[in-house]
Amino acid sequence: MPELTVSVKSGSYPILIENKALGVQAGRMAAGCCRGRRAVIVTDLHVANLYEKTVAQSLSMAGFTVDSHRIEPGEGSKNMATVLQIFDTFHLAGLTRDDLVVSLGGGVVGDLAGFAAATWLRGTALFQIPTTLLAQVDSSIGGKNGVDLPYGKNLAGTFHQPKAVLIDPLVLSTLPLRRVAEGRAEVIKSGLIRDAELFLKIEQQMDDLEWIIDRCVRIKAGIVERDEQDHGERMLLNFGHTIGHAVEQVTGFQTWSHGEAVAIGMITALKIGEHLGLTPNGTANRVRVLLEKTHLPAQMPELPSGAVLAAVSQDKKKRAGKIHFILLRSIGEAFVHPMTEEELSEALTAVWHHD
């Protein structure tokens, strides 16, 4: 497939989707990201065992001196203590503003590497190489990054666009089925908010990963180009995330993966939309059937709605006293529906079955 280009106010960058690109294209793309020739790969211990050597060799062949920083896999690593450890590696490697941070991994690695790159020396070039479906179709594109704080998810973060994104669909063959399923939650979300044809193809069990990834990337890239700083249309990408992040927080990031929590959040948002008369009746059930086929949670968990609402009240998307909640007018058409905490509490209580 040809390279796509994302054009935003802060610059433009290529996205390459290509099988076997990891070792062949990583060095070439990295060389176009920065003037320097020093790189630090940020990855996790699991991905390092699979792909770090391949990427490091490609970077070395392109003239880079390569160091790496490996984190423990999982959301528990996404905190400021880990960022400080990454900074130590940057310091010891002599990383300058002309050099490169390479994110090799899933969403947690991408968030940490992006945040570290954005804040090291007030901004260092970032090259995203996502290795999970969730990161390939969503989090590696658009420049958002974040670190969890004790009182909420992603509450510390920046906008820092990558200089390039390399997506190799073949790396997904090493993912556990649960990780593939959670990535499909973001694929389903893309169809629900912006592409009814994509949703229908997934519903019909079409499994052409290159086509699916390309379609999702184009949706995300287009929205980011039109709204880089999350002031309008880009909010639609948060469909399912307001409740999903709250579920993650209430359960201590231990019970549900991010994609699974987003699936719960999407079902909840659809039921709220139906309750308010803003989403056609039956939409939630149609999506529930697809989530179950995809091995994703399709029911609201046995958590107190009050605890979920308390976590939602800390959501970073709260503005001017209202939570910008995302609902569907129909499959393929999402919209922003500002709600006060009281309005959301009433709607959530009405659809949340486990108090």
pLDDT 10s digits, 149-192: 988 888 999 999 999 999 999 999 999 989 999 999 999 999 99
pLDDT the model gives residue 346: 93
pLDDT the model gives residue 319: 66
pLDDT band at 252 (very low <50, low <70, confident <90, very high): confident
CA–CA distance, 179 with 195 (Å, rounded to integer): 23
pLDDT the model gives residue 300: 86
Give percent above pLDDT 70 in the chain.
97
pLDDT the model gives residue 355: 45
Q: Mean pLDDT over all residues of the chain?
A: 93
pLDDT the model gives residue 84: 98
What is the rounded average pLDDT of the residues 327-334? Answer: 97
What is the rounded average pLDDT of the residues 181-210? Answer: 92
Q: How many angstroms from the chain centroid is the CA of residue 146?
A: 10
Q: What is the CA radius of gyration of the chain?
A: 20
CA–CA distance, 218 with 137 (Å, rounded to integer): 9
Backbone angles phi, psi at 127, to 5 degrees: -120, 120
More confident residue, 207 or 102: 102
What is the rounded average pLDDT of the residues 318-340? Answer: 90
What is the rounded average pLDDT of the residues 102-121? Answer: 98
CA angle in degrees (0–180, nearest 5) for 280-285-288: 130
Distances from the Cα of 18 to the Cαs of 14, 60, 91, 302, in angstroms? Answer: 13, 21, 33, 42
Q: Rank 279-283, 303-307, 313-317 by mean pLDDT and report only the highest.
A: 279-283
Name the β-bridge partners of 156: 147
pLDDT the model gives residue 105: 98
* Both tokens assigned to 192: 């629900």
pLDDT band at 321 (very low <50, low <70, confident <90, very high): confident
CA–CA distance, 121 with 283 (Å, rounded to integer): 48
**109 has pLDDT over 60:** yes
**269 has pLDDT over 60:** yes
**85 has pLDDT over 90:** yes
**30 has pLDDT over 80:** yes
pLDDT the model gives residue 1: 59
Q: What is the pTM of this model?
A: 0.90
**E strands present in 73-151:** 100-105, 125-130, 144-149
